[in-house]
Amino acid sequence: MYISTRGGEAKLSAAEAIKAGIAPDGGLFVPTVFPSIDKQQLIHLANSSYPQRALTILSKFLVDYSEEELLTCINNAYSDTKFDSKKIAPLVQVSSDKYVLELWHGPTSAFKDMALQLLPQLLSKALSKTNETDKIVILVATSGDTGKAALEGFKDVDQTEIIVFYPHDGVSQIQRLQMITQEGANVAVAAVHGNFDDAQTGVKKIFNDKAFGATLAQQGYRLSSANSINWGRLVPQIVYYFSAYADLVKEKRIEVGQRINFVVPTGNFGNILAGYYAKKMGLPIDKLICASNDNNVLSEFFKTGKYDRRRSFYKTLSPSMDILISSNLERLLYHITDNNASLISTWMNQLSTQGFYEIDSQYLEAIKEIFWADWVDDKNTVTTMRRVYLENKYLIDPHTAVAWEIGDRYRIQTGDTTPLIILSTASPFKFSDSVLESISTERDGSDKTEFEKLDEVARITGWSVPKRLRALEKAKPSHLQVCNKEEMPAFIKHTLLT
């Protein structure tokens, strides 16, 4: 069963929690008990395909779904028509004891596909399992990758509508093109003036607006979320931590039971939280290393115990990590405080009214046993992309570069030589501007179009441009609306009710 981090009464089934997205009291749903996995099961996973691994993990959390239902969902999500790697999330060795987990082989070339191919399937099943007759309206605030991945996942899924808001100046040109050319009869997209937090705050406000919800309900619409606060977004992400470990065992790089570390480029804290859940289930993870960019609110928190959003917001080369409120941290705090919902409510209230909160040192110490954190600026991000390319003949995007650099720093500062897996969250082709800047010998490529840049990256590296990205050049833009954050409710009403 699932309960709210803020102590709301209701205990929901997985299907109900996925349908609701956020809890009625503003908290996030967490499982009341954590399933575990033993050595035998880890060995079994090593000899399984990715879909089989997913079935093993998901069936432990989504106990109200039948095995057959889960298999249908999984096979629809992780098929080779959608992913360009049979392994779904391949693990690449880059040096001894250092690996990259490539999470970007899905339809939008970003790691969000790992979760957002599966969430719509789980949600659609949840609707029929709970006899829901309303249409579910998925509201998404995106810093870039989520929006497109959600649109792709939900397009033309029965009984759903999807509305995506992205920050007008906060996404790359390719990301924007991906969204404004989206096809599907149930999709809408608008740019919002401001940054990602403006868009996210706007969406949160709409979720909390009871009157607005009632107006939509009269017309048979019910709001839900595909942001990483939805349990159906998080649970698929636990799978690839197990999958990476299983691959290491299968390739005989480690013994079953041996500990490994992960370094994760972090924004909303969803990806790394899934790693924490894997560890809670018994996956032998020693450290989870949290990597941030100039928006270093998380790395400061992990060092000082003070979460303080009263700071400048920076637009960086890794825009999907340009976040000042990492929503999923709330879930970690809930577990670390031994399910102290009233303490969580106090902190979250303080965050929204005063802009900061500070946790007690006992909790900080507990967090530090598991997490390590640091941050990297843009200049260093570019240097890292170049260094990795020259040293390893391996191309990474700026988000992955942030993680790579922090992983190296961790090893140097701690002397810890535990095998390290770097989570790679976007195809380098999605960020061809900065990738090109880092690997090109030409002084200035700024006069090139986005598509010439893609081709140039391909020419230099010999890698091929993902087909769907290349095809954007000829796709027709159909979603060009721009609004203020105050106008977001009106945009929704206009989309649904006219």
Ligand X SMILES: *Cc1c(COP(=O)(O)O)cnc(C)c1O
Query: φ and ψ at 30, to 5 degrees?
Result: -130, 150
Q: Does 233 bind ligand X (CB under 6 A)?
A: no
Q: Does 399 bind ligand X (CB under 6 A)?
A: yes
Which tokens belong to 314?
A: 């920076």
CA 14 – CA 29 distance, rounded (Å): 9
- Stretch binding ligand X (CB under 6 A), from 34-42, 269-277, 364-372, 374-382: 269-277
Cβ-based burial of 222 (10 A; exposed 0-12, middle 13-18, buried ≥19) = middle
- Stretch binding ligand X (CB under 6 A), from 84-92, 244-252, 259-267, 483-491: 259-267
Which tokens belong to 15?
A: 């299907």
Nearer to ligand X, 127 or 289 (CB): 289
Q: How far is the CB of 423 from ligand X (least distance, A)?
A: 8
Look up 315 and say whether it is catalytic.
no
Q: Does 244 bind ligand X (CB under 6 A)?
A: no
Q: Does 110 bind ligand X (CB under 6 A)?
A: yes
Nearer to ligand X, 6 or 112 (CB): 112
Q: How far is the CB of 329 from ligand X (least distance, A)?
A: 10
Q: How far is CA 154 from CA 157, 185, 239, in A?
A: 5, 10, 21
Q: Considering CB under 6 A, how many residues would be counted as binding ligand X?
A: 17
Q: Which of 19, 112, 129, 148 is catalytic?
A: 112
- Stretch binding ligand X (CB under 6 A), from 264-272, 410-418, 461-469, 485-493: 264-272
CA 407 – CA 343 distance, rounded (Å): 32
Q: How far is the CB of 410 from ligand X (least distance, A)?
A: 17
Which tokens belong to 373?
A: 């954190």
By CB under 6 A, name the one of 268, 293, 427, 438 that touches ligand X: 268
CA angle 175, 176, 177 (to 5 degrees): 90
CA 78 – CA 117 distance, rounded (Å): 7
Which tokens belong to 86?
A: 């049979």
Q: Does 271 bind ligand X (CB under 6 A)?
A: yes
Footprint of ligand X on 3-42 (CB under 6 A): none
By CB under 6 A, name the one of 31, 153, 167, 270 that touches ligand X: 270
By CB under 6 A, name the one of 109, 178, 186, 266 that touches ligand X: 266
Nearer to ligand X, 200 or 320 (CB): 320
Q: Does 277 bind ligand X (CB under 6 A)?
A: no
Q: How far is the CB of 429 from ligand X (least distance, A)?
A: 12
Closest to 279 (Cα-Cα) out of 371, 198, 361: 371
Q: How far is CA 49 from CA 55, 74, 102, 144, 257, in A?
A: 10, 12, 16, 30, 20
CA 123 – CA 125 distance, rounded (Å): 5
Q: Does 453 bind ligand X (CB under 6 A)?
A: no
Q: Does 147 bind ligand X (CB under 6 A)?
A: no
Question: What SS3 string covers 36-54?
Answer: CCCHHHHHHHHCCCHHHHH
DSSP 480-492: -EEE-GGGHHHHH
Nearer to ligand X, 5 or 495 (CB): 5
Q: Does 150 bind ligand X (CB under 6 A)?
A: no
Q: Does 432 bind ligand X (CB under 6 A)?
A: no
CA 225 – CA 200 distance, rounded (Å): 11
Count of C-beta atoms within a 10 Å radius of residue 165: 29
By CB under 6 A, name the one of 117, 175, 200, 228 that touches ligand X: 228
Per the listing, tokens 């900065």 go with: 434
Q: Does 172 bind ligand X (CB under 6 A)?
A: no
- Stretch binding ligand X (CB under 6 A), from 15-23, 263-271, 339-347, 361-369: 263-271
DSSP 219-279: TTEEEEE-STTSHHHHHHHHHHHHHHHHHHHHTTSS-TT--EEEEEE-SSSHHHHHHHHHH
Q: How far is the CB of 321 from ligand X (least distance, A)?
A: 5
Q: Does 269 bind ligand X (CB under 6 A)?
A: yes
Binding site residues, ligand X, CB under 6 A = 110-112, 145, 228, 265-271, 320-321, 399, 425-426
Catalytic residues: 112
